[in-house]
Structure 1
Amino acid sequence: MSGRPEPPAGDLAAGLARVEGFLLAAHETAAARAEAERFADRLPWLLSAQRDDVVHHYADFRLASARRQCDAVAARCTELRAEYEQRYARLRLRLVRTCVAAVLTAVPAAVGLACLVSRLA
């Protein structure tokens, strides 16, 4: 189409993840600023410079809080992933053992049945 090679799928996914992260961060920053503005609006006695300072500090506090929450969620996701991977590995091992046991039980039984049938015939 454009003559340029297509980027590998991993690069494309990583790029989309970065764009998504940027958009989420921009949205959170705008939301924090709007919340700070609403908070400062409830303090009509503040001078202009004081109001700007309150808005700035409130937005910074709100963003830091959101960052801590996001980090906590990410850490918990990592813990859960490790836990579920470990659980999946145990279940997979149990399934393999069960299948092997079933085969080892069924083969001698089938051989014995075949011998019995051949003697009767």
Structure 2
Amino acid sequence: MTTRDDGRQVDVTTLVNEIHGHLLIAATRQEGHEAAVHFTARLDWLTSHQRAELERQFAAEHLALTRASWQRTAARSAELRTEYEAKYRRLKGRLTAVCLTPRRRRCRSPCFSSLRYAARRSAGQAVPPARAGGG
């Protein structure tokens, strides 16, 4: 936390994110203005007033399109985060259940046998020979 000039507490991460956002918007405005100037340079019949108005509208449209793109990206990012967090919770729960299962009733599926084999091998433990019947 840091203190602003007006005495309010501000999280440093939030402050950095806000500054980053302002810099992105400033860069996007500059890109839009440069694209507008490049576009209107080919239209030599425009008056200076028409050129300035067209550049202003072009830059504003560029900013609006970029903002909409950012919003779609942020929304999709949030959807993916929610989806992956749910998958992670399910996998974590399944793994916890497997780890807490008493040894006598342990799952004997080939998947978990392979995991046990890999874990023993990476830990340098002796790996028992494969048993008949896939266990």
TM over 0.5: yes
Note the C-alpha offset of 1:28. 0.5
**Aligned residue number for residue 41 of structure 2:** 41
Task: Report the AA paired with residue 53 of structure 1.
Answer: E
Alignment of 1:1-121 (within 5 A): 7=2, 11-101=11-101, 104-106=102-104
Q: Which runs of 5+ in 2 are unaligned?
A: 4-9, 106-135
Give the RMSD, CA atoms, in angstroms: 1.7
Q: Which runs of 5+ in 1 are unaligned?
A: 1-5, 108-121
What is the aligned-residue identity percentage? 33
Higher relative contact order (CA 8 A, sep 6+): 1
Note the C-alpha offset of 1:26. 0.4
Note the C-alpha offset of 1:7. 2.2
Kindly name which structure, 1 or 2, has the bigger radius of gyration based on alpha carbons. 1
State the distance in 1 between where 2:104 and 2:15 align.
52
Note the C-alpha offset of 1:69. 0.4
TM-score, scaled relative to structure 1: 0.77
Name segments (4+ residues, structure 1) moved above 6 Å.
Answer: none
Number of residue pairs aligned between Structure 1 and Structure 2:
99
Note the C-alpha offset of 1:32. 0.5
State the distance in 2 between where 1:30 and 1:106 align.
68
TM-score, scaled relative to structure 2: 0.69
Structure with greater helix percent: 1
State the distance in 2 between where 1:29 and 1:52 align.
15
**Aligned residue number for residue 112 of structure 2:** none
